[in-house]
Structure 1
Amino acid sequence: MKAILLERVGGVENLAIRNVERPMAKENEVLIEVKAISINPVDYKVRANKDVLQKISGGQAPIILGWDVAGNVVATGIHVSQYQVGDQVFGMLNFPGRGNAYAQMVTAAEDHIAKIPEDLSFEDAAATTLAALTALQVLQDKVQKDDRVLIHGGSGGVGHFAIQIAKWLGAYVITTSSAKNRDFVMALGADEHIDYRTQAFEDVVTDMDFIFDMFSGDILLNSVKVVRAGGSIVSIPTPEFSDEVMNLAKERNVHVSNLLVQSNGDDMKTLKNLLESGTIKPHVSKTFPFDRMAEAHQQLESGRTVGKVVVTL
């Protein structure tokens, strides 16, 4: 079968299509014929940085990257009970760890996937994996009904799911994006929009119950200034925070934490239900064929993607 290997850490020129051995499903796994792959910032960060590669996948190049897939079950392990050959499934595979999603066939643990809702495309299913799981896992235990929630980067992959999930949880949602994406984020359900290019959010909002930070740096520091005492922030870019952030958070009685998304079949089933009810809807802004994976990486690295980037097979 064909797969895309990262032959060495560095630029997109190191992503190469190669023939590799077809994987075999273990006793608690299914074998999936991949139809669509979702691309995330972690993909290009792992590709470009050997320390991130080691931290996330625990390995060294050459390696097959990728974690988000949608496709057809073509074989099952002897202990698999939830899925059978012919089922259409989607999920985030083995994250953190070796995902191996950039391939025509992949294996997935039974408890990492869910069935694709009827009438949902493989592209939309693949898009509703790592980014949607991140939003769900950050918000589901932190946000209560009527909370005032600020979501930074609401037009991005994680952000556009976070707006929808926060509204499902009953929050009042304020989000940041560029002015050109205002209509997009408002259509997702946001109650207020802040144009980050012309407005400093710390001058606009105060007494937030919860803030979802995608950027760290000054954005995280200024976020601490606008959370109420006893409120909280989850920042996903880095697990380590500066002394300035932590000292200010302690002074203001604000809880700051990091979350690294985890593969979770139960959470995937929650996303399946939210998709079926129309509560969430993925936005795929760019789709590339498998042999143009390098362009998919470059698109995401540009920082100008609205919603998700998907690669099809």
Structure 2
Amino acid sequence: MKAVTVPGPGGPEALRVTEVPDPEPGAGEVRVRVYAAGVQPVDLAIREGFRPPGMTAEPPFVLGNEFAGVVDRLGPGVDGRRVGDQVLGFRLLGCQAELVAVDAAQLVAKPAGMPWEQAGALSASGQTAHLALTLLGVGPGDTVLVHGAAGGVGTVAVQLARAWGATVIGTASERNHDYLRELGAVPVTYGEGLVERVRAVAPQGVDAAFDAAGRGALAASVELVADRDRIGTVVDYPEAERLGVRGLRGPRTAERLAELVRLWEAGGLRLEIAETLPLEKAEEAHRLVATGHVRGKVVLTA
């Protein structure tokens, strides 16, 4: 099969789209023919040499941690899945390829009306946002500041917080302010003067802050949120430790993914796709994500 591989740490030019052996599903696994796979900032970090908790593989390996496609083979002991099922799911590595073998418990059914690109881009960003807001205790009556609100994680976080009854202030470049208004957020421009701009639109104060952007977001957050246990990041863990706020981590689950799918089916979740590229253009996809200015997600199609 064709796959996006990392032969060694480096920049986007280090990526190789090569032929690798087809995976075979083991006990409790299914094999999925991938139609779409999202590109995450963590993919860029892994390419550069970062190793998230639980990752032991060394180069060469296949990138990607979210996908959507069609089940084409069942491993021993699999119940509840059939060849031909349309699914979306997740696993650590191996998803930016024509085929992926994955634990059947890490899949959910894809709604018939959900475009493949959206299905392939939901799991990682969606579950990250859901987990973060859950850990920060976001709920009715809260005012929540979301840093990087127009990105893949931020887009979902804004909508989840609104669905859970919170008022949302979102940071983004000015070109994305109308987009954030459409999602239900009050937009503010990031950068110098952010604290004053947030106070101007939220005179009632800010109850929680979620950083999906980095770039000084946590320093601003501690000036705005009284309770540091309600400030968290998924990108700047060293700064979180320095400031005494939360580095947000936790397991992905099919139950959480299924909740996101149900919200999409109910019309409560918009998934923005900035660019769709073939596997062969993985380097271009990484360069796009690296700009930090992608609205929504970049997706690779197999």
Q: What TM-score, normalized by structure 1, do the two folds share?
A: 0.89
Q: Does 1:286 align with 2:281?
A: no
Contact 2:218 2:239 survives alignment (8 Å): no
Alpha-carbon distance change, 39 to 230 in structure 1, aligned in 2, over 3 angstroms:
closer
Counterpart residue identity of residue 135, structure 1 = A
Could you say what the CA RMSD is over the residues aligned between the two structures, in angstroms? 1.9
Aligned counterpart, 1:249: none
Distance 1:229 1:261, change over 3 A: closer
Q: Give ranges in structure 1 of 5+ residues lacking alignment.
A: 247-255
Shift of 1:217: 5.7
Q: 1:83 aligns with which of 73, 81, 84?
A: 81
Q: 1:89 to 1:243 in 2, by over 3 A?
A: closer
CA deviations 1:208-229 (Å, max 9, x no partner) are 1111012446320221111134
Change (3 A) 1:288 1:217: closer
Aligned to 2:34: 34
Deviations 1:226-269 (A, max 9, x none): 113476111111333467522xxxxxxxxx21122533111111
Q: Distance in 1 between matches of 2:126 and 2:6?
A: 25
Distance (Å, rounded) in 2 between the aligned partners of 1:213 and 1:17: 32
Cα distance in 2 for partners of 1:261, 1:184 equals 29
Question: 2:144 touches 2:166 (CA, 8 Å); kept in 1?
Answer: yes
The 2-side partners of 1:234 and 1:304 are apart by 21
Cα pair 1:47 1:53 within 8 Å, conserved: no
Deviations 1:24-77, CA, capped at 9 Å, x for gaps: 1112111000000100101111111x2x13756322211111111100001122
Q: d(CA) in 1 for partners of 2:298 and 2:241?
A: 35
Per-residue displacement from partner, 1:171-193 (whole Å, max 9, x unpaired)? 01111111111000110111x21
1:165 equivalent in alignment to 2:179: no
What's the offset of the Cα at 1:276? Answer: 0.7
Match of 1:18 in 2: 18
With normalisation by structure 2, the TM-score equals 0.92
- Equivalent residues of 1:36, 1:311 under 8 A apart: yes
- The one-letter code sitting in structure 2 at the alignment partner of 1:64 is V
Aligned partner (choices 145, 149, 152) of residue 150 of structure 1: 145
Q: What is the 5 A alignment of 1:102-181?
A: 102-141=96-135, 142-181=137-176
* C-alpha distance 202-243 of structure 1, shift in aligned 2 (>3 A): farther
Aligned residue type for 1:29 = E
Letter in 2 for 1:211: A
Quote the offset at 1:200 in angstroms: 1.7
Q: Which runs of 5+ in 2 are unaligned?
A: none
Q: Which residue of 2 aligns with 1:252?
A: none
Q: In the aligned structure 2, how far is the partner of 1:54 from the partner of 1:200?
A: 31
1:92-144 alpha-carbon deviations (Å, 9 max, x no partner): 213xxxx1112111011122121111211110101111011100111135111
> Aligned pair in 2 of structure 1 residues 283, 113: CA closer, same or farther (>3 Å)?
same
Q: Distance in 2 between matches of 1:172 and 1:242?
A: 24
CA distance in 2, matches of 1:198, 1:106: 44
Cα distance in structure 2, aligned partners of 1:40 and 1:232: 25
Query: What percentage of residue pairs aligned between the two structures are identical?
Result: 31
**What is the count of residue pairs matched by the alignment?**
297
Answer whether contact 1:31 1:75 (CA < 8 A) is retained: yes
**Any idea what SS the aligned residue of 1:46 has?**
helix
Give the direction of change, closer, same or farther, for the CA distance of 1:298–1:261 in structure 2 (3 Å limit): farther
Paired residues of 1:209 and 1:231 also in contact (CA < 8 A): no
Q: Distance in 2 between matches of 1:13 and 1:242?
A: 31
Q: 1:230 to 1:54 in 2, by over 3 A?
A: closer
Contact kept? 2:195, 2:223, Cα under 8 Å: no
